[in-house]
């Protein structure tokens, strides 16, 4: 059984004896199995997957640490990652989620803008990570258009070709990559991004304070984070109003939003299959039409 080994590693990493009661399975994760491990005094959130996914958890822990160091929304403090009984695991602070106050969404908007104020010289990150379970390359690049072309859209398009989505998607996708400078006609700063900020990756703690988790961290155009919040339902008017008050967006956001969300639609095509093909192709056509003006 791997739980005693995980408990030992948690004890070593936290510098304090830890002998928890039986782990409690918690639902909700798309990719990993998730548990609460608690001893009556301390509680940890533990995710498990096959041994090969250790690098994914290491990058998640590094991403959580990067976000925690920014002055943004609360994130679970990562504790340790490792292998136990052939399985990979990540352990982090347990946070009781579920209490949203009337002003929680506005607070999330303000705090996200604050997090985006943390900037670097280059786009990308020191390490590659994953988006869902797909690899996400983050090689540092000073040129945002080149970064989005090669490491985001181009990478997912190549993956789609390997998954058998050739023909029209590839032809039109290649055309889109050519006209990218027309569509990405602004000069964003490299902001610290959550990277996978859909509604399933934000919650509110027992005080109603926003918590973000399960990131795919890199430094990029802050609009890419905002775009994703709108992809599956949106975070509510108060969130966007508070964000824009804290840091207004520049004109042309609605076009860039589609370009940024195309990355996630292509990733869904690669993760979940053909059901996303017509949405990806439709989005590419709309963007090509906008590039023609």
> Euclidean distance between the first and final Cα of the chain, in Å?
61
Binding status of residue 92 toward ligand ADP by CB under 6 A: yes
For 160, phi and psi rounded to 5 degrees?
Answer: -65, -40
Please state the closest distance from residue 134 (CB atom) to ligand ADP, in A: 13
Binding status of residue 200 toward ligand ADP by CB under 6 A: yes
Please state the closest distance from residue 75 (CB atom) to ligand ADP, in A: 8
Please state the closest distance from residue 31 (CB atom) to ligand ADP, in A: 4
DSSP 199: G
Which residues, numbered 93-112, are part of the site for ligand ADP (CB under 6 A)? 93-95, 97
Please state the closest distance from residue 223 (CB atom) to ligand ADP, in A: 23
Q: How far is CA 100 from CA 6, 75, 152, 201, 235, in A?
A: 32, 16, 33, 15, 13
CA distance 109 to 114: 9
- Residue 238 structure tokens: 């108060």
CA distance 187 to 275: 34
Measured from each CB, the residue nearest to ligand ADP is 29
Please state the closest distance from residue 45 (CB atom) to ligand ADP, in A: 4
Quick one: which of 245, 285, 251, 239 has its CA closest to 265? 285
Per-residue x/- track, 30-59, ligand ADP (CB under 6 A): xxx-x----------x-x------------
With contact defined as beta carbons under 8 Å apart, do 104 and 210 qualify? yes
CA distance 59 to 70: 17
Count of residues in contact with ligand ADP, rule CB under 6 A: 20
Q: Which of 6, 123, 157, 214 binds ligand ADP (CB under 6 A)?
A: 214
- Told to judge if 196 belongs to the known catalytic residues of this protein, a careful annotator would answer yes
- Residue 56 structure tokens: 């994914």
- Contact region for ligand ADP (CB under 6 A) — 25-33, 104-112, 146-154, 229-237? 25-33
Binding status of residue 26 toward ligand ADP by CB under 6 A: yes
Binding status of residue 271 toward ligand ADP by CB under 6 A: no
For 91, phi and psi rounded to 5 degrees?
Answer: -120, 135
- Contact region for ligand ADP (CB under 6 A) — 153-161, 199-207, 218-226, 253-261? 199-207
For 128, phi and psi rounded to 5 degrees?
Answer: -75, 160
Name the residues that contact ligand ADP, by CB under 6 A.
26, 28-32, 34, 45, 47, 76, 92-95, 97, 200-201, 203, 213-214
Q: Which residues are designated catalytic?
A: 196
């Amino acid at each position: 059984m791997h739980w005693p080994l995980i408990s030992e590693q948690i004890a070593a990493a936290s510098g304090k004896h830890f002998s928890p009661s039986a782990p409690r399975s918690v639902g909700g994760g798309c990719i990993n199995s998730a548990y609460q491990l608690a001893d009556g005094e301390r509680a940890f959130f533990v995710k498990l997957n096959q041994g090969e996914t250790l690098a994914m958890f290491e990058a998640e822990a590094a991403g959580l640490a990067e976000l925690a160091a920014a002055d943004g929304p609360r994130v679970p403090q990562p504790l340790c990652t490792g292998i136990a009984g052939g399985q990979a695991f990540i352990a982090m602070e347990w946070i009781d989620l579920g209490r949203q106050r009337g002003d929680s969404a506005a607070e999330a908007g303000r705090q996200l803008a604050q997090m985006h104020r943390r900037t670097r010289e280059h786009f990308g990150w020191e390490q590659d990570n994953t988006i869902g379970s797909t690899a996400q390359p983050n090689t540092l690049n000073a040129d945002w258009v080149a970064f989005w072309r090669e490491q985001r859209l181009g990478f997912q398009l190549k993956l789609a070709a390997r998954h058998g989505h050739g023909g029209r998607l590839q032809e039109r996708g290649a055309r889109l990559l050519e006209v990218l400078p027309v569509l990405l006609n602004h000069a964003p700063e490299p902001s610290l991004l959550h990277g996978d900020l859909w509604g399933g990756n934000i919650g509110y703690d027992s005080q109603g304070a926003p918590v973000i988790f399960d990131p795919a961290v890199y430094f990029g155009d802050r609009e890419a984070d905002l775009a994703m919040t709108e992809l599956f339902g949106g975070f509510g008017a108060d969130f966007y109003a508070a964000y824009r008050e804290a840091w207004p967006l520049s004109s042309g956001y609605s076009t860039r939003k589609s370009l940024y969300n195309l990355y996630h639609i292509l990733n869904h095509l690669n993760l979940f299959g053909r059901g996303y093909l017509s949405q990806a192709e439709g989005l590419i056509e709309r963007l090509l039409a906008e590039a023609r003006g």
